[in-house]
Amino acid sequence: MALSTMTAVTKSSLRPRLLNGQTGDPALLVALRWQGRAVLIDLGRIDRTPGGILLPIEAVFVSHAHMDHFMGFDQLLRLFLAREGTLRLFGPVGIADCVQGKLAGYTWNLTDEYVFTLEVIEIDATEMHAWRFAECRRFARERLASTPFTGVCHQDAVLTVEAAPLDHRIVSMGYAVTERSHLNVRPEALAAAGLRPGPWLNALKAAVRSGAAADTPIVIAPGDTRPLGALRDELLLVTPGQKIAYVVDVLFSPANAARIVRLARGADVFFCESPFLDADLEQASKRYHLTARQAGALARAARVGRLQVFHFSPRYEGRYGELVAEAQAEFAGREVRYGDLDGRDAALP
Ligand SMILES: [Zn+2]
Ligand SMILES: [Zn+2]
């Protein structure tokens, strides 16, 4: 389950899915196709999602601990209790207290033999603070070393996850998951070289992803070892990886807008909250949320490929299509300055 574990990669691509659709609690599952791995962004209720879909989750990235974003914690914990390995949970400062509080709500006298461990990482301005909660020690909280934070909160051989703290009267963390690169084998090149596919291709890809030197030997078969560089250039097609951005529960302020645009820039898919229609702008601002129009403007400014709005307020039940239409119209619309959106916000700093 370790994120750093390199698994067989034949064609890597991210498959995002809102577990509760556009209207239910936020929980975005990002599965890595072919790899049996997944990460989850936000942890709203997930009790209607089959366990088999949740078990590949290796890491959870929580925006903030308002109930609709965090009440699925118990469900996920219960699913993972009897498993081996470590589940990592990232979030803003304070999330470790929230986890500790939840764990304190149960009795753990019969779990000494279990090996499951929860690691909680708080993303602060320039550092990440980490704690371990081991099931065999009844989830007692243990401090781990802090690490520097400069925008990337997680990185492994396949994924990079960026985090951006946004203003929701508390911090609501925005995230962007990027596949570091697509490595595809060119079958015709393989055939032309007279080579047979095998596990050595995964070793080659793993070595390329890890940035190993061009003269690193790759064992193709007993007695047949060739340098990484030559095999990479001859056999692999390297293309930029996919990017998925996620922003939820934020005020439309110049500072937030700048951070969101930076985080989501060039994303293939941008999941953005749009709880309110622009007609209810005042309500949205008062509650530190976006309108659909604002979501559309942010998506356009970030030049994303596709905008997927969600987290609709139930007040629009029966009219959810209007939220989508408003966001998409703005996304596709003319170039506007941020200040044009509501006539009050200043242009970006
Ligand atoms: Zn909230
Ligand atoms: Zn919310």
pLDDT (tens digit per residue) in 24-59: 999 999 999 877 899 999 999 999 999 999 999 999
What phi-psi label fits residue 318: left (phi over 0), alpha (psi between -120 and 50 degrees) or beta?
left
Q: Ligand 2 centroid to 119 CA: how many Å?
A: 24
CB of 40 closer than 8 Å to CB of 27: yes
Q: Bigger pLDDT: 338 or 140?
A: 140
Ligand nearest to the CA of 251: 1
Q: Ligand 2 centroid to 44 CA: how many Å?
A: 9
Return the pLDDT at 10: 37
Identify the three-state secondary structure at position 165. strand
Identify the three-state secondary structure at position 211. coil
Q: Ligand 2 centroid to 311 CA: how many Å?
A: 7
Q: Which pair of tokens denotes residue 69?
A: 């974003």
Is the predicted pLDDT of residue 5 greater than 80, yes or no?
no
Q: Ligand 1 centroid to 249 CA: how many Å?
A: 5
Return the pLDDT at 202: 85
Residue 295 CA to residue 304 CA, distance in Å, equals 12
Q: Ligand 1 centroid to 11 CA: how many Å?
A: 36
Provide the β-strand partners of residue 191. Answer: none
Q: Ligand 1 centroid to 66 CA: how many Å?
A: 5
| Exposure string over 304-328, b if 16+ CB within 10 A, otherwise e | beebbbbbbbeebeeebeebbebbb
Using CB atoms within 10 Å of the CB of residue 271, give its burial: 0 to 12 exposed, 13 to 18 middle, 19+ buried: buried
Q: Ligand 1 centroid to 81 CA: how many Å?
A: 28
Axis crossing angle, helix 199-209 with helix 228-235, rounded to the nearest 10: 100
Ligand nearest to the CA of 314: 2
Q: Which pair of tokens denotes residue 178?
A: 């990027």
CA distances from 291 to 3, 82, 104, 319 (A): 36, 42, 37, 14
Residues around ion ligand 1, judged by CB within 5 A, are 66, 249
Q: Ligand 1 centroid to 64 CA: how many Å?
A: 7
Q: Ligand 1 centroid to 321 CA: how many Å?
A: 23
Q: Bigger pLDDT: 19 or 340?
A: 19
Q: Ligand 2 centroid to 64 CA: how many Å?
A: 9
| Other beta carbons less than 10 A from residue 9's beta carbon | 21
Q: Ligand 2 centroid to 200 CA: how many Å?
A: 46
Ligand nearest to the CA of 26: 2
Ligand nearest to the CA of 248: 2
Res. 210 pLDDT band, cuts 50 70 90? confident
Return the pLDDT at 341: 43
Residue 123 CA to residue 119 CA, distance in Å, equals 13
Identify the three-state secondary structure at position 3. coil
Using CB atoms within 10 Å of the CB of residue 127, give its burial: 0 to 12 exposed, 13 to 18 middle, 19+ buried: middle
Side-chain-side CA neighbours of 168 within 13 Å: the count stands at 21
Closest CA to 25 of 59, 57, 73: 73
Q: Ligand 2 centroid to 77 CA: how many Å?
A: 21
Q: Ligand 1 centroid to 173 CA: how many Å?
A: 10
Ligand nearest to the CA of 250: 1
Query: What is the residue whose two structure tokens read 């942890």?
Result: 43
Closest CA to 227 of 253, 160, 235, 317: 235
Ligand nearest to the CA of 288: 1
Residue 60 CA to residue 342 CA, distance in Å, equals 34
The mean pLDDT value for 71-78 works out to 97
Closest CA to 99 of 127, 83, 128, 76: 76
Is the predicted pLDDT of residue 347 greater than 50, yes or no?
no
Helices assigned H by DSSP within the chain: 51-54, 67-70, 73-80, 95-103, 187-192, 199-209, 228-235, 254-264, 281-286, 292-301, 320-332
* 230 phi, psi to nearest 5 deg: -65, -45
Return the pLDDT at 65: 98
State pLDDT tens for residues 166-199.
999 999 999 999 998 778 899 999 999 999 998 8
Q: Ligand 2 centroid to 23 CA: how many Å?
A: 11
Q: Ligand 2 centroid to 309 CA: how many Å?
A: 13
Q: Ligand 1 centroid to 136 CA: how many Å?
A: 33
* 100 phi, psi to nearest 5 deg: -60, -40
Instruction: Supply the pTM of this predicted model.
Output: 0.83
The mean pLDDT value for 192-208 works out to 89
- pLDDT over 70, % of the chain: 92
| Other beta carbons less than 10 A from residue 76's beta carbon | 22
